[in-house]
């Protein structure tokens, strides 16, 4: 008897629980649908859709032309590289090596121009760029590279905040928020539904424009997208969605902390400027103050001093062959130590700069995107290691070959650490908006 009573109570509780969940989901669906319908017919949605589509398609087209120029430059450099003879002692120190550009640079160029330059053995056993073999494309030295990464990082992040800055404060001004809450509508359901409906409305034009641009590029015979590249592109787009949701949540938070949409707009623009421009630049300046690194001119001057002292000591008439060999070894070791010290300082500078600037979502997204697409600092460091190994290899070595980091390597070396930072920002801003909305005065 007792078991039957307990079983009946459990079934009743489960049935009541299912009904509650169904009601919540139904209410949430209605709020999301209402929010999307409101946004789809608003002037704000029309303007952002047109702006997003034009910017993304123009960006992809321009970067496709840049990729074609980079391919032509690579063919020129590769042919000239093979024409350089080897010395009797093995590979000549002046022999450069070069790798082809990646088609992913169309979406996130990053450091791909540096990666695709010709490299040669540099001072202190390091790797330097052959100054006589620079890229033929100098257009973006005068202007910012208009790749998809830049469009998302700067333009679309601003659009995300402009899309959400008046979600709450604007409805308070029109009186619709008070009307919605007067119908026994729960605040948690309302704020969650507004976020889902608003962000879905905002992100739809982005996916449509990216799909059109990607289809245009991949249909071109000059662009060869491997399965690895498709996987990287997918992860890049996922990171872009998370990044844009950070600024959408931030705009929602500001809207929940203000009672006038005009004030919310001013604060949103100010905060966006700080996060996208000020913090990354100040972080780099602060890192240079913490890590002193010699300039290129200072490094060249020290190298010339070492070369002068080496020439004087080695070419003395009274110097024996043994003393000359000993002097050469000592000066080569000094060169190596100077180059190693410079590389260690530079790597430490990069690490500190990244750690400081990652308090900005824009910087974290830049590091994340370029590392995923194989155009970031990690890829550059890996390439220079490969070039150094090739330069120090034995004579008659095969032609230099290099494979960019695979999708698994990107994930294995902490490629998602910056993505976790973006997720943390997202949770922080949305939680703040959620708590602020629960206490928001809708009157």
C-beta separation of 213 from 85 below 8 A: no
- For residue 439, the SS3 value is coil
Question: Judging by beta carbons within 10 Å of its beta carbon (0-12, 13-18, 19+), is residue 387 exposed, middle or buried?
Answer: buried
Give the number of other Cβ atoms within 10 Å of residue 107's Cβ: 29
How do residues 251-304 score in pLDDT, each as one tens digit? 999 999 998 999 999 999 999 999 999 998 888 888 888 888 877 677 777 777
Higher pLDDT, 39 or 121: 39
Angle between helices 361-373 and 377-391 (to 10 degrees): 40
% of the chain surpassing 70 pLDDT: 82
How do residues 132-163 score in pLDDT, each as one tens digit? 444 445 555 556 788 999 999 999 999 999 99
Give the number of other Cβ atoms within 10 Å of residue 338's Cβ: 19
Distance CA 365, CA 371 (A): 10
**Residue 127 backbone zone (phi > 0: left; psi -120 to 50: alpha; other: beta):** beta
Contacts 24+ apart (CB under 8 A), 43-52: 44/162, 44/163, 45/163, 45/201, 48/159, 48/162, 48/163, 48/202, 48/205, 49/205, 51/155, 51/159, 52/156, 52/159, 52/205, 52/206, 52/209
**Predicted pLDDT at 274:** 95
Distance CA 147, CA 81 (A): 29
**Predicted pLDDT at 275:** 94
How do residues 380-419 score in pLDDT, each as one tens digit? 888 888 887 877 775 556 677 788 888 888 877 666 788 8
């Amino acid at each position: 008897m007792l078991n039957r009573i307990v079983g009946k109570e459990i079934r009743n509780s489960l049935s009541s629980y299912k009904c509650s969940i169904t009601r919540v989901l139904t209410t949430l669906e209605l709020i999301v649908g209402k929010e999307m319908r409101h946004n789809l017919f608003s002037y704000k949605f029309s303007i952002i859709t047109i702006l997003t589509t034009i910017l993304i398609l123009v960006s992809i087209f321009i970067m496709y032309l840049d990729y074609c120029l980079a391919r032509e430059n690579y063919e020129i450099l590769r042919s000239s590289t093979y024409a350089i003879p080897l010395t009797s002692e093995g590979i000549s120190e002046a022999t450069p090596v070069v790798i082809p550009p990646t088609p992913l640079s169309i979406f996130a160029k990053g450091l791909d121009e540096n990666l695709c330059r010709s490299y040669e053995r540099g001072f202190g056993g390091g790797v330097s760029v052959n100054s006589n073999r620079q890229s033929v494309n100098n257009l973006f030295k005068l202007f910012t590279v208009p790749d998809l990464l830049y469009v998302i990082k700067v333009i679309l992040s601003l659009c995300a905040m402009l899309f959400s800055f008046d979600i709450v404060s604007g409805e308070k001004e029109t009186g619709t928020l008070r009307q919605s809450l007067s119908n026994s509508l729960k605040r948690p359901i309302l704020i969650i539904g507004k976020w889902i409906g608003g962000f879905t409305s905002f992100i739809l034009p982005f996916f449509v424009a990216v799909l059109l641009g990607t289809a245009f590029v991949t249909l071109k015979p000059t662009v060869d997208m491997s399965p690895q590249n498709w996987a990287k592109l997918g992860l890049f787009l996922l990171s872009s969605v998370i990044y844009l949701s950070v600024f959408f949540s931030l705009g929602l938070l500001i809207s929940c902390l203000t009672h006038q949409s005009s004030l919310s707009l001013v604060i949103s623009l100010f905060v966006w400027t700080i996060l996208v421009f000020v913090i990354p630049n100040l972080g780099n300046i602060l890192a240079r103050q913490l890590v002193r690194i010699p300039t290129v001119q200072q490094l060249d001057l020290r190298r010339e001093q070492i070369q002068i002292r080496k020439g004087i000591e080695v070419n003395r008439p009274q110097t024996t062959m043994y003393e000359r060999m000993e002097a050469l070894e000592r000066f080569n070791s000094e060169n190596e130590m100077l180059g190693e010290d410079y590389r260690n300082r530079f790597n430490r500078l990069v690490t500190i700069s990244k750690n400081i600037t990652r308090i900005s979502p824009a910087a974290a997204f830049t590091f994340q995107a370029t590392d995923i697409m194989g155009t970031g600092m990690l890829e550059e460091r890996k390439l220079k290691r490969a070039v150094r190994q090739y330069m120090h290899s034995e004579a008659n070595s095969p032609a230099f070959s290099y494979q960019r980091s695979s999708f698994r390597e990107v994930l294995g070396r902490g490629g998602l650490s910056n993505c976790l930072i973006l997720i943390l920002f997202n949770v922080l801003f949305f939680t703040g908006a959620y708590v602020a909305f629960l206490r928001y005065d809708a009157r």
